[in-house]
Amino acid sequence: MINCLWALGAAAVAFSIAAVLGKVLIPFLHKLKFGQTILDIGPDWHKKKQGTPTMGGIMFIVGIIVSAVGCFVIRTVVDGNVPDSQRNGIFIGLIMALCYGLIGFIDDYIKVVKKRNLGLTAIQKLILQFAVAVGYLLAMTYLSGDTTPTQTLIPFVGYVELSWFYYIIAAVVIVGVVNATNLTDGIDGLDGSITFFVAIALMLIASMVSNVGGVITSAALAGGCMGFLIWNFHPAKVFMGDTGSLFLGGIVCAILFALDMPILLILVGLMYLVEMFSVMLQVSYFKLTHGKRLFKMSPIHHHFEMSGWSEVKIVCVFSLITAIAGIITIVLVYFGVVQSGAIKFA
């Protein structure tokens, strides 16, 4: 019941800040002419979105950070019985997410201000993204107080020791999910809607394993996404940009790593992975068949657009799939972790 109240509070604060910031930030971005440039490689009808303000992710970034940090600090003052590993894990994770948001901001800035449509080069992005991932993993090892930093929890299996392989796998997973979340941001409301349902699942999982930091941060993430969707749902008045999408990928990873269960990304982050692998399959198939395409366009949400689906229908279907995957994930954690007694309740 107490976790529920903190979750509601965190969600309400993040929602309010993100929603209200839209009233101020969108006109400001218009004034600065921070409009999105629509590339020719996208669907033709996306051209009408030319000039829609980008970098709107700032709205939910501020809301989520203020809400999560504020609620967690107040919760700690009210009840000091919050394990150091939870507190440090969440704060280090928020810093990681902010760093990814900063990389996205630099990318967006180059696109809209410097008029370089592609922003940072792929190599520049990967170097910065891996640097952040490595910094996060080192911080989690040396500052979180975790005595088993290279272990990960797998439902129905228990804690698995990965030794130094953990760092390689974890860094690849973080960078992969961050970029997958970025690829998901291709039509109005898609990334925010999917992440909202991911956040709800993570909030319930964090509550089940008594991780108050995870509960608060997940609730703040859900509230921030919902506040942003007021302005981003079709027809979008603002786009989150790489600023927002990279931040979302970072914070989703941060929560799951704080729970010691990044493997859950396979299910709870299913649609992120589908988007990413659709691009990889498209590129591979194109090269192997000397110019043939597996999908009409990738990422896969564009394939459905080209097949006649409306943006709203795509968002609804992808969100429903995410919600179902989230429910399955919750059930797996309940029976494979909580009921089995595998979790180390801190």
Question: Contact, 99 vs 263, CB < 8 A?
Answer: no
Element (H, E) at 235: none
Q: What dihedral do alpha carbons 114, 116, 119, 120 form, nearest 10°?
A: -90
- pLDDT for 149-185, tens place per residue? 788 999 999 999 998 899 999 999 999 999 999 999 9
Residues facing 198 on adjacent strands: none
**Most confident stretch, 2-16, 33-47, 204-218:** 204-218
Give dist(CA 230, CA 238) in Å, integer. 10
| 230 confidence band (pLDDT: 50, 70, 90) | very high
pLDDT at 147 over 60: no
β-bridge mates for residue 324, sequence order: none
Higher-scoring residue by pLDDT: 279, 342 = 279
Reported as a single tens digit per residue, the pLDDT across 238-292 is: 999 999 999 999 999 999 999 999 999 999 999 999 999 999 999 999 999 988 9
Closest CA to 206 of 266, 261, 247: 261
Which pLDDT score is estimated for 38? 55
CA-based nearest residue to 214, from 3, 2, 26, 1? 3
In angstroms, what CA-CA distances link 193 with 173, 199, 214? 22, 10, 20
Given a cut of 60, whether residue 226 has pLDDT beyond it is: yes
Q: Are 165 and 159 in contact (CB under 8 A)?
A: no
DSSP H helical ranges for 32-83? 57-78
Average pLDDT over residues 320-336: 97
Instruction: Dig out the tokens for 36 from the structure.
Output: 């999105």
Q: Rounded distance, CA 294 to CA 340, Å?
A: 43
Res 130: pLDDT: 98
Q: What is the pLDDT of residues 105-132, one digit of tens each?
A: 999 988 887 766 667 889 999 999 999 9
Does the structure show a pLDDT above 50 at 346? no
Of the pLDDT bands very low, low, confident and very high (cuts 50, 70, 90), residue 311 is very high
CA proximity to 86, closest of 195, 192, 3, 9: 3
Q: Is the pTM of this model over 0.85?
A: yes
Average pLDDT of every residue of the chain: 89
